[in-house]
Amino acid sequence: MKLSRRDLLKLGAGAGLTAAVGGLEPIAAQFPGQAMQMKTIPSSGQQLPAIGIGTRNFRSQDAELSVYRETLATFHRLGGRLLDTSPNYGDSEDVVGGILRDLGIRDDLFVATKVDREDREGGIRRMEESFVKLGGDDFDLMQVHNLRGTEVQLETMKAWKDQGRFRHIGVTTSSENQYDAVEDVMRRHDLDFVQVDFALGNRSAGDRLIPFAHDRGMAVLVNLPFGRGRMFEAVGDRPLPEWAADIDAKTWAQVFLKYVMAQPGTVIPIPGTTKPHHAVDNVGSAMGRLPDARLRQEMEELMDTFMA
């Protein structure tokens, strides 16, 4: 029997999280004396909750705008702050910008987007369009999307950061094929962030890029923290291990996200999230304890067994 993430949320302790949509207090009540996990951006000292939200699938053509609106409202209401988008995601910036204006929460969020053009003028136009679509006078983070036009775009981004238009800059990838190039960029440029694909079942970036980012004083955003859904397929309807209670994990999604958050350095997962009950589950992962190095190794061995 294969269970969906919604089914998993309905099981046992997960049901308590679904009731938490109304506010942060019901989630916090499940972890008495424990605050939300926070991460510090090394280059600026700014603190952020240890969980973000990705908006890759926020598309107007999907006719799910009311659901997307409630998802972002729930994420914000429960204490989430970091939102990642891109002009490369169809009309995601338009959809997200409209929701932020409607909810009046733009200034509450740490908004990150990207530039995906090879040439200088094309990159400038793209970034100026992002300001129009997403609103605000500045961005918390501008990133070069999948290393497209890296050197040209970073030149503009550094200048705009000096002007106060960007608070932080970085580069992104979602492919191991680009890891060598990402590492080279990290060596040659003073970046605030790097974004990589990483998950309990996809740990290659943890061997090189994440430790190197820590050494270089760069924060890490993690895309695809659920391994493109393969880890949910691998665990199926298996019950949570007994040790899940030791890290206050109530669902498999929280197990997966806590593993990512627990990596050395400033590592923040940004799972793509389009449903309110997933936002509740994800924010819940930032509450309570995280696995230590010994338990992370046990988690890796278990997942390797499931995915074999």
Gap between the Cα atoms of 36 and 133, Å rounded:
31
The answer to whether 57 and 274 are in contact (CB under 8 A) is: yes
Gap between the Cα atoms of 24 and 186, Å rounded:
37
Gap between the Cα atoms of 66 and 145, Å rounded:
28
The answer to whether 147 and 118 are in contact (CB under 8 A) is: no
pTM: 0.92
Three-class SS of residue 288? coil
Q: Can you give the pLDDT of all 308 residues of the chain as single tens digits?
A: 444 555 555 443 444 444 444 445 556 666 666 789 999 999 999 999 999 999 999 999 877 899 999 999 999 999 999 999 999 999 999 999 999 999 999 999 999 999 999 999 999 999 999 999 999 999 999 999 999 999 999 999 999 999 999 999 999 999 999 999 999 999 999 999 999 999 999 999 999 999 999 999 999 999 999 999 999 999 999 999 999 999 999 999 999 999 999 999 999 999 999 999 999 999 999 999 999 999 999 999 999 999 99
Gap between the Cα atoms of 250 and 11, Å rounded:
9
5-303: CATH topology is TIM Barrel (3.20.20)
Residues paired with 54 in a beta bridge: 84, 272
What does 105-140 look like in DSSP terms, one character per residue?
Answer: -GGGSEEEEEE--SSHHHHHHHHHHHHHHH-SS-EE
Structure tokens at 81: 């702050």
